[in-house]
Chains A and B, each alone.
Chain A
Amino acid sequence: MALDTLFDATIPGSELVKYESSIDSPLLIDREGDKPWTKQIGINSTIEPANYLISSDRELMIEKQLGKIELSEFPVDHPWLPQRALKILSKLEEGPIAEKELLLLMDLVADRATDHFQLEEGRFVALTFLGRVVEVSDTRVGLLKKIQGRKFSEQIFVWRVGFNSFSGRT
Chain B
Amino acid sequence: MSPPINIIEKNYSNGKPFTDVRIAVINRENLRQITIQKKVRIDTGFDAGVHVRESEMLELSTIGIRPTPGSATLAGDVTAKAYFCFAYLQQIGDFELPPPGMEVTLMFQGSGREGLLGLEILNNWIVTFNGPEQFFKIVHPEA
Contacts and interface: CB of A to CB of B under 8 A. Distances in A.
Contacts of B77: 169
B27 interface: yes
Contacts of A28: none
A166 to B, nearest CB: 4
A165 B71 contact: yes
Contacts of A170: 44-47, 119
A140 B82 CA distance: 14
A113 interface: no
A126 B68 contact: yes
A168 B64 contact: no
Contacts of B47: 167-170
B72 to A, nearest CB: 4
B86 A166 contact: no
B73 interface: yes
A156 interface: yes
B9 interface: no
Nearest to A102: B81
A156 B83 CA distance: 11
Contact of B69 (A102, A140, A148, A168): A102
Contacts of B86: 141, 144-145, 148
B104 A106 contact: no
A148 B70 contact: no
A140 B27 contact: no
Contacts of B5: none
B80 interface: yes
B70 A145 contact: no
A167 B28 contact: no
Contacts of B84: 140, 144, 158, 166-167
Contact of A166 (B45, B64, B71): B71
Interface of A: 99, 102-103, 106-107, 126, 140-141, 144-145, 147-149, 155-159, 164-170
A-B complex: 10 closest residue pairs judged by Cβ atoms:
A168-B73, A166-B70, A144-B86, A165-B71, A158-B70, A168-B72, A167-B48, A148-B86, A165-B73, A145-B86
